[in-house]
Structure 1
Amino acid sequence: MKNKKKNKILENIRLLSAGAKGVSVGKTEEGKTVIVSGAVPGDLVNVRVKKSKSNYFEGEAIEILEYSEYRVEPKCIHFGTCGGCKWQNIAYEKQLDFKHSEVVNNIKRIGGVSDFETIPILGSKEQYFYRNKMEFSFSNSRWLTQYEISSEENFGNRDALGFHIPGMWSKILDLKECYLQEDPSNPIRLAVKKYAVENGLEFYDVKAQEGFLRTLMLRQNSKGDWMVLFQLYKEMESERIRLFDYLLSQFPQIKTLVFAINPKGNDSIYDLDIQTYFGEGYLFEEMDGLQFKIGPKSFFQTNYKQALELYRKTLEFADLSGDQVVYDLYTGTGTIAQYVARNAKQVIGIEAVQEAIDAAKEHAEINGLKNCTFYCGDMKDIFNDEFLANHPKADVLITDPPRDGMHPKVVEQILKLSPEKIVYVSCNSATQARDIALLKDSYELVKILPVDMFPQTHHVENIALLLKK
């Protein structure tokens, strides 16, 4: 170890494991934990310290002395700049090992439980091209690499269509290729950019808040039908129509094309008026005989094939026989609720977003499910004593909260409801473990199943089964 005036450098740090949010973790000779970005577990690195605490360091790898045996060659030319697939340089089997270990460690350390069955992580059959939705941003300020900057060339047109550089909202990486969504995602994006540049269409300037083209969203269903959504900063009708007609003439896979005018300071579409230019304005997705209507604003799992496996496993954990009442908390658009409804007596779904509840009710009608009832409200407020008194007691409770997990008041109400079985689906095993700790006096954690929904990233889902003691 050596000290510099401005930076402390830790030398010869062997990275032993993966940590939260995709970092790697090692130890100094004195046994102090070192949390490192920009490297892979197994690497031997020198680290520039960015944060020093009494029991750990945080820093970035500035030199790799020995490469990990887990490393593989990244598939994408944008790896290291894009930030979207940070684990693309780690062999997929090791990605699964790291994710599995993270979930188990969180449940044991944070949840305070150790005696439970751990089912091996369910890996994704598709490790690339697994997303059914991608969003890209237009910018007149393309991100320049350090090599480009040092070359002092005049790059002229700086228009870009791609992803935001991590931590730099005003800079966009101009994507040449992306391996997250199957074609024609890449050809559509590249065709849009080429047409826009050749025809002088203004790319959005996020700092000045001006321009024409703002964002591009591409959605697809499993049948190969595509939806295209443009956000435009302002209306330029003739230019818009020519662009849309060109795109439709080139890509017959596009079944609907929609757009919104957005002069706001953010890119959120949820408070915008979506206008349909071509098609019906939505797609349908089928999951084991159920139909779901997917619009521009709809939430739907982005990895269709793995989402189907997640729902199948959730139903398997619930082990329904047809005569149980099921509560589905944080039901969203009712996908899990309706997936289990065919095996239940009654399903009661609760969700905070009114548009999601409206979609859930529409889906239930489309699928002819008469045993699903949906309610809208903030979970901690609507899921109260009065609600429990006015509805049938739950035999099985399924909960799939956001990353923050469940509010303590919700956990308290679950304990009052006292269902025989809880199936807890989570996208954040740390907050899931925290909630399990609050339930463990009354419920036994029986088994868990980690599920990899997002290959090449550190993200992992987990299904937990708890039975009343």
Structure 2
Amino acid sequence: MDTKILTVRSINDKGEGLAFTEDKEIFLSDALPGEKVEVIVGKPFAAGSKRCSGEIVKFLSKNADRQDPFCPYFGACGGCQLQHWSLKAQLHYKKENIKTALKSCGVTLEPENFVEEKRPQICRFKTIRYFKNVDGKIKAGFYKKRSHDLIETDKCALEPLWFSEFIQDLTGFFNLKDLKAYDENTGKGLIRNVMLRDGGLQRLALICTTDLLSDDLKDALINLAKKHQINSLNYLVNDAKGNRILGDKSLVIYGNEYMLAKLGGLLFEVRPHAFLQVNPYATLELYQKAVSWCGENKSAVALDLCCGVGTMSLFLASHFKQIIGIEIVEDAISAAKENADLNGINNVSFIASDLKKILPSLINENVKAVIADPARAGLGEANCRALNRLKGDVKLALIFCSLTALKRDLPVLLKGGWKINNVQGVDMFPHSTHVETLVLLSKK
């Protein structure tokens, strides 16, 4: 089969190297920018497409920052994309991606360098394990890249060890009871997935099934939870066809519905569906910088948009007269109120509402700071336009978990009179292509 000599130009958000030949774009696994490779060019991904897969036959030159992955599942598991690249090179790549996104908005500001202090390798304190029937037995693991095919794993090097130890015991128990994993094709099987959280102070497990569990099964699961020091054991029933990961309402099997987590000296009750960043080291860095930017004004109001369980609202509370948090998920708002009580903070209030409906009514001259950590889609044009109505000396700390959202929202804010003062990337997921971007803006 004919081969071609290509130079890798860049990598995409899946960690695949991109090279070009004639009028084709070639996608290459395990390739890094600048590497010269001998490649077999595959067929187009779709009829008429110029995008094709490629298979590397030989490396003719390698990136100077290439390193050996520390995980035996790297390359098959879809959880990491960049373990074969040094952390320093990863951060440079992420900073360049932020710069490119800013330039598309007409912004030439140089982002701050990433914090490069050495942190523990274990940095992902939430996981979801999937299950599949193999040769009559349930197997547990993660999904392979670009698929729902399971790769069986005994542990993840980025997660607390008890995650894997509990999953191994749990899988053994499922097989002992001759239970079956849910099959997306047939719609049959009881066990769908398991979500685990570690809050530092306490542990939480959520088992997703397609039907109610018997009392005998629940009693046995309680014993497993106690063995692994799990404080909150829950399950939910998701009998929907297809590949939806979780259901809506969880049921407590053992302990409280929530686990306790500690962040920056504050305590938080975290329920199974609540949003909490998975990396506490990066989260604290992100939140402290955002709160610091908002400043201090004991006679003014600050807004926390998409406030989740109230994490940043509580961090802001000592800086302003009043904090108003808004979140569309009612369970999160209930948790936010409980978290305020838990920490003895009484100058915060929380509203369960669609941000587009409530935000215009909250815009007034008393608001002097806004902090926002929206979902991947960003704030959206309507909410950005509402923020543009703020006048006077106002600060805005806006977190983007997607550079696509940044490119969509920032131009709206800039047209509305906001000025970008600083941009900081935060490495929430080391060894992945993902980057959190904190944009600090102001109005006069």
| Equivalent residues, number | 436
Structure 2 counterpart of 1:406: 379
Distance 2:43 2:427 in 1: 32
Q: 1:60 to 1:235 in 2, by over 3 A?
A: same
Amino acid at match of 2:428: M
Q: 1:310 to 1:10 in 2, by over 3 A?
A: farther
* Residue 402 of structure 1: how far off its partner (Å): 1.7
Structure 2 counterpart of 1:393: 366
CA contact (8 A) 2:237 2:247 kept: no
Distance 2:50 2:16 in 1: 12
Distance 1:172 1:27 in 2: 31
Correspondent of 2:322 among 324, 338, 346: 346
Q: 1:371 to 1:73 in 2, by over 3 A?
A: same
> Is 2:214 aligned against 1:237?
yes
CA contact (8 A) 1:352 1:379 kept: yes
Distance 1:57 1:128 in 2: 39
Structure 2 counterpart of 1:434: 408
CA contact (8 A) 1:176 1:190 kept: yes
> Is 2:140 aligned against 1:161?
yes
TM-score (norm: length of structure 2): 0.89
CA contact (8 A) 2:222 2:253 kept: no
Of the two structures, which has the highest relative contact order with CA contacts closer than 8 Å and spacing of 6 or more? 1
CA contact (8 A) 1:107 1:113 kept: yes
Structure 2 counterpart of 1:145: none
CA contact (8 A) 1:139 1:206 kept: no
Q: 1:340 to 1:182 in 2, by over 3 A?
A: same
* Residue 289 of structure 1: how far off its partner (Å): 2.4
Deviations 1:80-103 (A, max 9, x none): 211111111111111111111101
Distance 2:273 2:421 in 1: 37
Distance 1:433 1:33 in 2: 27
CA contact (8 A) 2:122 2:160 kept: yes
1:270-309 → structure 2 map (5 Å cutoff):
270-272=247-249, 274-309=250-285
**Residue segments in structure 2 that go unaligned for 5+ positions in a row:** none
Correspondent of 1:69 among 60, 64, 67: 64
Tell me the SS of whatever aligns to 1:309.
helix
> Is 2:146 aligned against 1:172?
no
CA contact (8 A) 1:282 1:293 kept: yes
CA contact (8 A) 2:98 2:111 kept: no
Which 10-residue stretch deviates more, 427-436 or 239-248? 239-248
* Residue 127 of structure 1: how far off its partner (Å): 6.1
Tell me the SS of whatever aligns to 2:93.
helix
* Residue 264 of structure 1: how far off its partner (Å): 2.6
Distance 2:116 2:52 in 1: 30
Correspondent of 1:462 among 411, 415, 437: 437
Of all paired residues, the percent bearing the same amino acid is 27
CA contact (8 A) 1:41 1:70 kept: no
* Residue 120 of structure 1: how far off its partner (Å): 0.3
Distance 2:308 2:137 in 1: 40
Tell me the SS of whatever aligns to 1:214.
strand
Structure 2 counterpart of 1:417: 390
Correspondent of 1:377 among 353, 360, 365: 353
Q: 1:320 to 1:112 in 2, by over 3 A?
A: same
Correspondent of 2:32 among 25, 40, 43: 40
Tell me the SS of whatever aligns to 1:440.
helix
Tell me the SS of whatever aligns to 1:98.
helix
Amino acid at match of 2:4: E
Give the superposed CA RMSD: 2.7
Distance 2:418 2:170 in 1: 54
